[in-house]
Structure 1
Amino acid sequence: PELLVLPLMLGALLLILNERPWWAFGLVAIALTAKEDVALVAVPFGLWVAWRYHRWAGLTMAAAATGAFALNFLVLLPAFSPTGEVLYTGRYTEYGTSALGIIGGVAANPVSVLGDITRADSLAYLRDMVLTAPTSLAAPVVLLLGLPITMANALSTHFYQIDIRYHYTIYLLTAVGIAALYGARWLQTRASRTAYGWIVAAVVLAAFLGLGPGPDGSAWDGLEDAAAVEAAIDLIGPDDVVSANSTLAVHLAHRTTVYRFPNPFRELDYGTPGIDYDPPAGDVEWIILDPNRLVNFAYANETLTELLADRTNPWEPVISTDGVLLLRRR
């Protein structure tokens, strides 16, 4: 549902520009129902609207978003958690162990915050995000709408939050998209038609080479060997218990039990902190992996090596290609 946040926020901006601020508030309110952390982009958006366009509508947006954030993280999420704790807090233990504690820890440790934000992987994430719409750089004040969500993603130990291929990107993409509109307008008003055309061409080329399906556009890569993958999936019965890495698990989700490898053999983003981790690993009948997706995940490679070396529960390779590895329990 968070994918709806981008069009809803852009719609709110359009209504603001057409002097319908309270209709815009309605769209922001709808966006806040998409996910518990939408406030990380809605609060700065409301403050920006209050500063630039409509004071009371903007402040109302920011207040509503702040209230929604507090309600979600201080009341609803703990109430529905099996342990009474917010599951997200495990990603920010360097700064605190509760929602309020983490906020306080971030404020009290600016050096650590700066170090996390300027890590190589965090900077690469920001580079890739900006390259989706480089004109956003011409509107740096508007681009600051993405600061809270950037901090939330960069300070997390959950590395998926700084990978543009995952849904965690949508809020920052919203801020970048809004900034890109204002940046393009700024460039248009300060450049001749010919110069503006060259600027647009340069922006498109930069995005194509840096992030699109140009040289080294790895984010656009598909399955290395689709035919072998399909053949491997066809061998797995509709009710068989399977462990697969995330790119293949989605093709096997129509069953009662499917694990994301290395679960259930090794815990990774599984279950709830404080609850014993003891899934029935012996029930897994198949393991299917994309070897190319294991290169950067030492825990997955280690688990695979351990399983193949375990003679008490031997696994038999059924298909082994550059694009897919299918193992069956003997």
Structure 2
Amino acid sequence: MLIPLQYNSTEIESDSLIARGRIPLTSCLMMGIFTFIFTWMNWRLYDGLLIPHGDSAMYEEHLWNVSHGKGFRSYLDQGLFWGEHIQFIHLFLLPLYLIWPSHLTMELCETVALAAGAIPLYRMAVRHSHSTTAGKAMVAAYLCYFPLHFLDISIDLKTFRPISFGVPLLLFALEAIELKHWKTALILLLLTLASKEDYAIILGPLGLWIAWRAFQERKRGTSTSPSSNLEKIKAIAPGISLSLFAVVYLPVVVVVLIPLFRDGAKVHYVGYFSQFGETPTEIVENILFNPSLLFGQLVHPDTLMNLLAFLVPLGFLPLFSPSRLLVAVPLFGLLCLNEVASDPRHHFHAPIVPILAWAAAYGLTNATEVLQRFRKQHQPDVIRRPSFSAHFLWSSSLATAIFFSLSPLGLAFWDPGSKYYWQRLYVPGERAQQFAKIENLIPPESRVASTDFIHPRYTHFDRSYDYSEYPRKVNDNKPGAPPDTDYIVIDTRHPYSNIKTPDQIPEYHDHPERWELLPDQTDGYFIILKRKPESASSQKQSAARS
């Protein structure tokens, strides 16, 4: 076991690791194991053609297109990606991506980033508890925390999400805030916002927490050094400024910037809250001023289940740091109102994870102090070294991971009857083997329209279009293949495939004179259509004129 069951001398811990802020070998090993396991899982999903382009490999296409002068976009987007989210943190991966231009690079970076979130958590837990074992317990709990696992691989096997980079960035920012390193905190918070605009919902209440803590510190110091009103204003200024910035930033992004890149259309995630209205303004007004509607949506068994899903793996310790826990309340409320996904198995909960982990790191010691006061005992040595809380924390996280994680910690990973069984997901099957026969069949200078799960293999081509039933801007807001498409590739066995035979492809069924059906080399697993030469030249001339 990487967490020792006995504490070392408090003096030794304080003088060595605590003072220097060093991360012990055991914590590094835990982070290394997490990185190895989840990188392996991500890479094997990619090898098995189980990672979709939409909401995963499309971000790799962003980097490919940027590095080749095609703009910050994938051809899945309705124009530039700015029309989906003000989210560009993955552009900082470009130096590494240019060395190894692959989706696998991005998966590795995301997993390393999530693991790195354990570093500030360890340091904060140790500083507050004066116990390195408490810090190790916090690291173990964080890395076993199943809501974190779903940020690396979600329940629908979407793997790479830029929002995940906000988790370690916000954790490092929280540590800087605790130490009052304001310049460092500012830079980290701006980078956190680059992970997705959702983090502004966290930064608003976080600013209020910073101001409240500063006010409390000044208040406690008045007996010995009275403060002027100007000094009090200076003390709360960083927090109030952050809160005001977040309050302004989010509406500007949602109401102005994103619609600007969508030709004035409203943001796509307005549909997630359709019970509150059809526009951002209607939704906000109903949430704020229609308490009966809000109450009816929130007071629901699912809300309690979501709350338990977040708190039980952390041993309820965030409750022992209530002021920090309150920072997550507004976003938790919005998550529970989300009609698409309200539980922590997708990606919408990402900004909540660092706040709860931060609260747990401080709740470690607070829990022991509260229990001691409740028992009316005076054992300062026990208070200083929260043994029970530390071991309850990591064991709670591990126990819940057994039942809910998709990783090797979870039963689903080992259950042959589960759709998440390791041999079903992480051992490439017949479909991947059949694709190897046609992988090099299409020239890289071609424009390819392909279905979602085979699409990641064509992001480095001249253009890679999404072939689906969704209307796309690159195809005049119609489904199917754009007019300048050279090849259509249909994956007939992917999880959501509706096309099984060539005659089910509208382009081939309606205009067989324009398309050549290439010989089947894959036993029906893949269908490839090639535009006939005379049709290809006329279509490209038409596309050039438009």
Paired position in structure 1 for 2:491: 288
Going from structure 1 to structure 2, the CA distance change for 1:27 and 1:310 (only over 3 Å counts) comes to closer
In the aligned structure 2, how far is the partner of 1:87 from the partner of 1:311?
A: 28
CA displacement, residues 252-305 of structure 1 (integer Å, 9 cap, x when unaligned): 53332242xxx52x228x659xx84344289673333666xx4xxxxx46x458
Question: Where does 1:139-288 land on structure 2 (aligned, <5 Å)?
Answer: 139-159=321-341, 162=343, 164-166=345-347, 168-189=348-369, 190=371, 192=382, 194-196=387-389, 198-212=391-405, 213-216=409-412, 223=425, 225-234=427-436, 235-236=438-439, 237=442, 239=446, 241-245=448-452, 249-255=455-461, 256-259=463-466, 264=468, 266-267=469-470, 276-280=477-481, 285-288=488-491
Coordinate RMSD, CA, aligned: 4.0
Which secondary structure does the structure 1 equivalent of 2:349 belong to?
helix
In the aligned structure 1, how far is the partner of 2:412 from the partner of 2:488?
A: 36
| Percent pairwise identity | 18
Question: What displacement does 1:63 show?
Answer: 0.7
Which secondary structure does the structure 2 equivalent of 1:277 belong to?
coil
Paired position in structure 1 for 2:181: 20
Question: Where does 1:98-113 land on structure 2 (aligned, <5 Å)?
Answer: 98-113=279-294
Unpaired runs of at least 5, structure 1: 295-299
Which secondary structure does the structure 2 equivalent of 1:287 belong to?
strand
Q: Is the 8 A contact 1:241 1:285 kept in 2?
A: yes
CA displacement, residues 161-185 of structure 1 (integer Å, 9 cap, x when unaligned): 745343x332121222222212223
Q: Is the 8 A contact 2:172 2:188 kept in 1?
A: yes
Question: What displacement does 1:46 show?
Answer: 0.9
Asked if 1:68 is matched to 2:68, the reply is no
CA displacement, residues 211-239 of structure 1 (integer Å, 9 cap, x when unaligned): 33221357795725414343243224454
Range moving further from structure 2, 173-182 or 190-199: 190-199
Paired amino acid for 1:11: F
Which secondary structure does the structure 2 equivalent of 1:254 belong to?
coil
Which secondary structure does the structure 1 equivalent of 2:274 belong to?
coil
Asked if 1:32 is matched to 2:226, the reply is no
In the aligned structure 2, how far is the partner of 1:154 from the partner of 1:137?
A: 19
Q: Is the 8 A contact 1:211 1:219 kept in 2?
A: no
CA displacement, residues 6-49 of structure 1 (integer Å, 9 cap, x when unaligned): 23322232222223345434432443344333211111111111
The structure that has the greater radius of gyration is 2
CA displacement, residues 169-215 of structure 1 (integer Å, 9 cap, x when unaligned): 32121222222212223235457455345414532432432333221
Unpaired runs of at least 5, structure 2: 1-88, 90-162, 215-234, 373-381, 414-418, 510-516, 530-546
In the aligned structure 1, how far is the partner of 2:327 from the partner of 2:433?
A: 46
Q: Which has the higher contact order (CA 8 A, sep 6+)?
A: 2
Paired position in structure 1 for 2:263: 82
Q: Is the 8 A contact 1:43 1:62 kept in 2?
A: yes
Paired amino acid for 1:172: I
Q: Is the 8 A contact 2:449 2:488 kept in 1?
A: yes
CA displacement, residues 135-159 of structure 1 (integer Å, 9 cap, x when unaligned): 3344344223222323333333444
Question: Where does 1:108-127 land on structure 2 (aligned, <5 Å)?
Answer: 108-114=289-295, 116-117=297-298, 126-127=307-308
In the aligned structure 1, how far is the partner of 2:504 from the partner of 2:470?
A: 18
In the aligned structure 1, how far is the partner of 2:421 from the partner of 2:309?
A: 13
Q: Is the 8 A contact 1:43 1:66 kept in 2?
A: yes
Aligned residues: 307
In the aligned structure 2, how far is the partner of 1:327 from the partner of 1:277?
A: 23
In the aligned structure 2, how far is the partner of 1:120 from the partner of 1:233?
A: 45
Going from structure 1 to structure 2, the CA distance change for 1:278 and 1:258 (only over 3 Å counts) comes to closer
Question: What displacement does 1:243 show?
Answer: 3.7
Which secondary structure does the structure 2 equivalent of 1:226 belong to?
coil
Paired position in structure 2 for 1:57: 238
Range moving further from structure 2, 171-180 or 211-220: 211-220
Paired position in structure 1 for 2:99: none
Question: What displacement does 1:55 show?
Answer: 2.3
In the aligned structure 1, how far is the partner of 2:282 from the partner of 2:354?
A: 28
Paired amino acid for 1:253: T
